[in-house]
Amino acid sequence: MEAIDDGEETTHEHEHTHNHAHEEISADEELKIREEVGAFSFKALHKAKDLVKNGAKLIDVAEAVEAYVRENGFDIAFPLNLSIDSEAAHYTPMLSDEKIFNGNVVKIDFGVGKKGILGDCATTVDLSGNYQKLLDATEAALSDAISCVKAGVPVNQIGKSISEAITSRGFLPIKNLGGHGVRVHDLHSDPFIPNFDNGDTTKLEEGDVIAIEPFATQKGRGMVGNGDVVEIYSVRYPAQTRSSVSRLIMGRIIEKEMVEPFALRWFKDMVKSRFELHAAMRELEKAGAVEPHPMLVELGGGIVSQHEAEVEVEKGGCKVLTK
């Protein structure tokens, strides 16, 4: 998802200052891969959904699903997000994470990639049994938004349909999160798709690929801020650092051509402890080599629900890719 910074201009969550060479592929091949990536993103999302149960460890779910993606010949568009209760997004299990699911509302946000073509989809699981109406609100908002997508529609109209679906059910849309365009090797590009009528009359164009992701909260403020957990980063450009661990990590990033966002636990074989890993990442961040993507938390402590689909804009409607 994309976040808006304190009501100012929209800021891309995964802004990169570097360019990546990617294979030239024909429009026909891109369409074929996009459909394949969308379908497998949805399949992987539902594999994760089946594993999210009370008593299960978050890290076991994340490692199983990410391994499943790699075993099937896909890349990971971004680490599996398992954000619970008032966490809206960007919680991925940390190294040696002992956290288990225990009656939580769990946002599962995930996508796969191939040749830089990326999928993005999300769903929410209520393990408490108390928040089904909240989940129904974001699901209905997504459905309403999809039904109004076609070439020429301004993005604020999509935001209006999302907001109406959520508020009519007694909940608040989260106003500083929204959907986004999806391009090759760029999961969060223009246009920004708001979750309310923000007055932006940018029109969708035929062939645009966008992710629509309504977020709603119960008894919250309808806004998110950065939490104190950072387990997801993306690379900006290679940089020289002093510590051997940070140099090893940067070497791995370059060797594996890690263009998309990554989880710190993916480097577990290179460090002795979580402390050593975080120290190395702080050094890389200070050098400008990586960009952090902190966990996002509802500012009023409200429980959050999310649903998301990736669609391709057509002349008279849209095609859902993540299904």
The domains found in the chain, sorted by start residue, are: 2-8+26-229+294-320 (3.90.230.10), 232-292 (1.10.10.10)
Enumerate residues 6+ apart whose C-beta is below 8 A from 5: 11, 176
- pLDDT, one tens digit per residue, over 214-230 is 999 999 999 999 999 99
**Three-class SS of the chain:** CEEECCCCCEECCCCCCCCCCCCCCCHHHHHHHHHHHHHHHHHHHHHHHHHCCCCCEHHHHHHHHHHHHHHCCCEEEEEEEEEECCEEECCCCCCCCCCECCCCEEEEEEEEEECCEECCEEEEEECCCCCHHHHHHHHHHHHHHHHCCCCCCEHHHHHHHHHHHHHCCCCEECCCEEEEEEECCEEEEEEEECCCCCCCCCECCCCCEEEECCEEEECCCCCEEECCCCCEEEECCCCCCCCHHHHHHHHHHHHCCCCCCEEHHHHHHHCCCHHHHHHHHHHHHHCCCEEECCCEEECCCCEEEECEEEEEECCCCEEECCC
Task: Please check the confidence at residue 21 and state whether its pLDDT lies above 60.
Answer: no
Q: Token pair for residue 199?
A: 């007055």
Mean pLDDT, the chain, integer: 93
pLDDT of residue 15: 35
Task: Please check the confidence at residue 10 and state whether its pLDDT lies above 50.
Answer: no
Q: What positions carry a catalytic annotation?
A: 109, 120, 180, 188, 213, 308
pLDDT of residue 252: 96
d(CA 259, CA 239) in angstroms, rounded, equals 15
- pLDDT, one tens digit per residue, over 108-157 is 999 999 999 999 999 999 999 999 999 999 999 999 999 999 999 999 99
Task: Please check the confidence at residue 288 and state whether its pLDDT lies above 90.
Answer: yes
**Tokens 């075993």 identify what position?**
71
Q: Token pair for residue 146?
A: 């999809």
